[in-house]
Every structure is written in structure tokens, then in C-alpha cells.
A and B are shown apart, each in its own frame.
Chain A
């Protein structure tokens, strides 16, 4: 059969077109199976990648201590104003830095409540007073200029580094480096701009929009101008909060030691704090948990996809068996005219493969469309890996072959005389 396969495919397609509706309905199972595989993989991949990025930004070799407002006392203070004092302290930081084997460097962060202003534009971003090592610990990249330096600290200079969003908002059309930025009531020289944390949309933020961003200043400078205890007055209430350090980043020499350091830090904090006003975050653990979640997700996804493809395959097999019965006479005629068993097998197998691959291709189209819609409407990141459509295509072709074999075999093994006599 030279070039015969092409003719067989054409023949198969024309047979399928005789029953258009039936053929389309038959492919639905495979269609939805394949499209759900692709769409779910894309959504899962996107969500997981996003989570991984957020975690990686925290640093996989870091242990992060955070101040947490402890649960409210049951007894309220009545009319009098209350001052809640909690959180990490400078001595916690020193202990982390000096007395933990395995901690390479430790970085304190305290977050100031200060207005940031350039000319007429003002914002209320997080102002982070920290040390020059912050960048080494978090690995966050600079987009322009430089980060804080040891010199800045030694000379307690009024310099700041702006987060990308803050720079874009305050000084939209020029480079922010070298500009004098007013933080609180002091002027700071901008020495650099950080890259954004998560990829941003292309449009510049609208004026007055809620721009969350960050501004970095040297720790000592922060203490000099704004004190070493941060008092936060909640608007609309009389409550005040007093926190010394909001975060401590401790970088560990090797991933294997992260857990050790984390446990030691917890023990140390438990000894020195009489309330649960802290929290220990281990990005590595989060990462592993995230991996675990992803694996579970993939298993669930795989099962759903497998079941729907199985159902699709059985649907195809069912219809093909009916077709074989319906076309018994045609099979008899072809056999009487010289068709061998393999010709009949090929003919019916080609039809099921055309059905399932047709369903698979439509499924791929739908499966590529769904992530786009999800991204647009639910604002969730999705990632279509090139292997997903290929995999789906391969699976749908395999389904055609697997579920087509039995009907084709049935067709080919009919006795030609009986088949001819069939009404």
C-alpha cells in the first residue's frame, strides 16, 4: 500500500463526516480531557512559579524573625490610651549576629511610618531602616545607582534607596538618582533604585493610587532622626504601638544548617520574650512545603485528567464498536474484494485515531485559550509549558490506538461470508 495510508486517512475522514454530529460528540471526552490537562497544568505551573518567586525573594538560606503583635489582652484599658510594646529588640539582633554558629550575617530591619515626598508628590511607603548587608541577604537586584554602603553607615549620612514603584511615582520622567527626597522632615539624597519585587504592569501608577513600595535608609541614620523605637498611632483610635525591630534576617552558611539555626533562634526568643510577639519564618521550609503542594496538585490533576481521558477513550471505543457492527456488510464487501485483515484493522484504527487526535487538537486549542481567559479575568499568572500540548497530543493519539484496537480487531476477524450475509 504505497501512499495508501494517506488514502486510508482520507477514507476514514469521509466515513466520519457521514456522521458529523456523532463524530463530534465522540471526541468531546478527549477534547475536555486534553484541554483540562493543559489548562490545569498552566494554572498550576503559574501559581507555583509565583509562590516560588515570592519565597525565593526571602532567601532560601535565610531564617527570618518577625515582630508580631501578640493577641490582645482580654482586659481592655477603658478610656485611657494604651501603649502596646512588643517585638524584636536590638539585643535579639546582637545575639543572632554574634552567638549563633552558622549565621554568616544578620541584618536588622525596622519599618518607619514616615511620609516620603518629592516636590509636590507624596507617598506613604514602608521606610526600611537597615544595614548595607540587607541586599546581600535578600539578593534583591538594583536597577539604577547603588544600594546603601558601609560608608553611608559610618558617616550616618542622609541617603536613601528607592523601591522601583516609589521612584516611578515620585519622579516619573527622570532618573531618581541624585534627587533630594524628603522623608519625614529630613532631606535624603537618593543613591539608587531597586528592581521591583514582582513583575509590574507596564503602565505607570496613577496619581493618588495606593502605591505600596519601599524606601531604604541606613539603620543609624534612621535612629538618628526617627529614634530607635517606632511608635505607630493607629488612625481613629487611641492605641499606640511600640516596636524596636520589625525583622531580623539571618543568613546561614549552608542550607543543611537552616533548620538548626531556626530551632536555636526559636529557643533563644522563647527564653528572652515573655509573650509570643515574634514569628520565625524559614523560606526553605516554605519552599519544600510548596513543592509538596505542587506534587499533590499534580497527582490530583493527573488523576482527573486520566479519568476524563479514560472516559473519552471508552466513549470512542463504544462508538467504534457500534460503527463496526453497523458496517459489518461494508467489511464483508471489502474482504470479498481482496482486503486483508490488516487493511481492515488499519481502516478502523485510522478512524479512531482521527477521532481522538481531532478531539486532542480541539482540546489543545481550548486548553491554550482557558489560561488566557483565566489570566485576564482572575488576574492569575499562568504558564503554558511547551511540553503540555505535545504531551496532550501524544496521549490523545495513544488513546485512539489503544481504544481503537479492539473494535478494529473485531472488524478484521469477522468471517467474510457471514459479514456479507449481514443485513
Chain B
């Protein structure tokens, strides 16, 4: 596996970060087979901002879980920053998650007994050698998402929007190759959702690679590009004026 520094150096705009080739994900339940992903081939490149849309059950979450390395393809190849993931064992997958993936969930998924700062630090906690500037990094990110003054607060003392900001800071703390968000604004009112989306826009400006799963067309259009799934296949790829221009 290339070192983190080397990997980041290679993450120049336009270079492939995530490459999927003929990826299938089949759920077997007794005699039934559900092809949640059916021969997907696609490449996401550094600095791109994608939204992933599609009707319910079209395989969006399945795709995101695969990309986030918490699930493995049934067949096909999946490379992240050049490393083949499909054949890795559990420990190696964990390693990839900790080093290269930033995940933002619909339901925030903060750890209740940890405060804001500790929650942001969780991904680094599992590194074999935590970076020496871990805490500094976490403080800066908290500042960045507008929670610099609430480092000691527990999740249940924060609003939904604030919790999602913490989750975003946590997803960024390991400097991931790709930021994955599954319905990240689904639980928020529209004003708060707009704030979060503005944050994604900013991150995009800074050159982060972002994948956003959403139901809402208005949210989907904020991204540069939209990938539409249908029955586990790519149905349509759109390039949005709105997302590209801002």
C-alpha cells in the first residue's frame, strides 16, 4: 500500500481516486438473489463532486458501502488510490477505512459518551501510529465547521445540524481520499440542510473528492455531476451547470 503522503501527492485533480470495474453485489436470501449492483464500471477522479441519485432500492447505499469499504463486492474489482480492495481481509479493510475514507451518515452516528473533540478524533484513534498533530487537526476542523466553541459538548447537547457538522469534521480528520455521504441532509430542515450543503461546496472548492447520495433533486443538482442508478446499473450521467458554475 502506498504511503499516505505519496497517495495524497498523487491525488491531483483529474487523477482516478476510485475505480470500479464490473462490480457486482448480490444478496442471497434462501433461493432468492437480489442484484443490488449489477456490473458497475465507473471511475471517480480527484476533486470531483458527484451526487448519486435513483429510486429507492436502486443500490445507492449498497454502492456507498462498497466505496466506504464496510462491504465487499461479490465480484469485480475496486481500486482506491491504486490499491485493490476487493480481495483484502477484514483488518486490511479496516485499515483502508481509517486511512482513506471519510463517511458521513444520515443519522450523524456520533458516539454518545464522547464529546465533540473526542468524536472527531475517533478515526485517528485506531491508527497504528496516530499523527502527532491529531488534536490540533481536530480543533481546526471543529473551528472549520463552526463548532470551535463547543469542543466539550456531548452529542445530545447539540442540534441536528451541529451534530452533522461534527460528523463531517470527523469524516475529514484522516484527510480521506474520498468523502462519502449517504442522505447527509435527509434528517435536517431545509435551512440547516442548506448550511451543510454550503459546507460541502466549500470543501469542493478546496479540492476534496465528494460523493453525495440523495433523493432530492435540488440537492443532487448542487453537485458538479450526477450519477443516476437504476436496478444496480448506471442509468444516466449528468453534468450540472448549477453545481459546476458556483
Total count of chain B residues near the partner, CB < 8 A: 29
Total count of chain A residues near the partner, CB < 8 A: 24
Interface centre among B94, B97, B113, B170 (most CB of A within 10 A): B94
CA distance A338 to B93 in the complex (A): 8
A7 at the interface (CB under 8 A from B): yes
In the complex, are the beta carbons of B70 and A335 less than 8 A apart? yes
In the complex, are the beta carbons of A338 and B70 less than 8 A apart? no
In the complex, are the beta carbons of A338 and B91 less than 8 A apart? no
Chain A contacts for B174, CB-based, 8 A: 338
Closest to B70 in A: A416
Distance in angstroms from B246 CB to nearest chain A CB is 30
Distance in angstroms from B171 CB to nearest chain A CB is 9
CA distance A18 to B154 in the complex (A): 13
Closest to A16 in B: B113
How many residue pairs at the A-B interface have CB separations less than 8 Å? Answer: 68
Distance in angstroms from B114 CB to nearest chain A CB is 8
B42 at the interface (CB under 8 A from A): no
Chain A contacts for B109, CB-based, 8 A: 329, 332-333, 336, 420
In the complex, are the beta carbons of B105 and A338 less than 8 A apart? no
CA distance A420 to B125 in the complex (A): 19
| Pick from A4, A332, A335, A341: contact of B125, CB under 8 Å | A4
Chain B contacts for A373, CB-based, 8 A: none
CA distance A342 to B101 in the complex (A): 20
A334 at the interface (CB under 8 A from B): yes
Per-position 1/0 for B103-141, Cβ under 8 A of A: 101000111110000000011011111100000000000
Chain A contacts for B122, CB-based, 8 A: 333-334, 337
In the complex, are the beta carbons of A337 and B123 less than 8 A apart? yes
In the complex, are the beta carbons of A420 and B105 less than 8 A apart? yes
Chain B contacts for A14, CB-based, 8 A: 113
In the complex, are the beta carbons of B70 and A336 less than 8 A apart? yes
Closest to B182 in A: A420
Chain A contacts for B123, CB-based, 8 A: 337-338
Per-position 1/0 for A324-359, Cβ under 8 A of B: 000001101111111111110000000000000000
B98 at the interface (CB under 8 A from A): yes
In the complex, are the beta carbons of A338 and B128 less than 8 A apart? no
| Pick from A4, A15, A329: contact of B113, CB under 8 Å | A15
Distance in angstroms from B166 CB to nearest chain A CB is 12
B71 at the interface (CB under 8 A from A): yes
Closest to B123 in A: A337
In the complex, are the beta carbons of B95 and A338 less than 8 A apart? yes
Chain A contacts for B125, CB-based, 8 A: 4, 7, 339
In the complex, are the beta carbons of B103 and A337 less than 8 A apart? yes
B68 at the interface (CB under 8 A from A): yes
Known: A337-B126, A338-B127, A341-B90. A420 touches B99 (CB 8 A): no
CA distance A213 to B27 in the complex (A): 92
In the complex, are the beta carbons of B129 and A337 less than 8 A apart? no
A417 at the interface (CB under 8 A from B): yes
CA distance A14 to B174 in the complex (A): 25
In the complex, are the beta carbons of A333 and B111 less than 8 A apart? yes
In the complex, are the beta carbons of A340 and B90 less than 8 A apart? yes
B65 at the interface (CB under 8 A from A): yes
In the complex, are the beta carbons of A336 and B113 less than 8 A apart? no
Known: A417-B70, A420-B70. A340 touches B126 (CB 8 A): yes
In the complex, are the beta carbons of A330 and B111 less than 8 A apart? yes
Chain B contacts for A341, CB-based, 8 A: 90-91, 94
Known: A417-B70, A417-B71, A420-B105. A339 touches B111 (CB 8 A): no
In the complex, are the beta carbons of A1 and B113 less than 8 A apart? no
8 Å CB interface, B63-90 against A: 65, 68, 70-71, 90
20 inter-chain pairs at a CB distance below 8 angstroms, sorted by A residue, are A4-B125, A330-B111, A332-B109, A333-B110, A333-B122, A334-B126, A336-B68, A336-B103, A337-B98, A337-B103, A338-B97, A338-B123, A338-B126, A339-B94, A339-B98, A339-B126, A340-B94, A341-B94, A416-B70, A417-B70
Ordered nearest first, which 7 A-B pairs have the shortest CB separation?
A338-B98, A340-B94, A416-B70, A338-B126, A337-B123, A338-B97, A333-B109
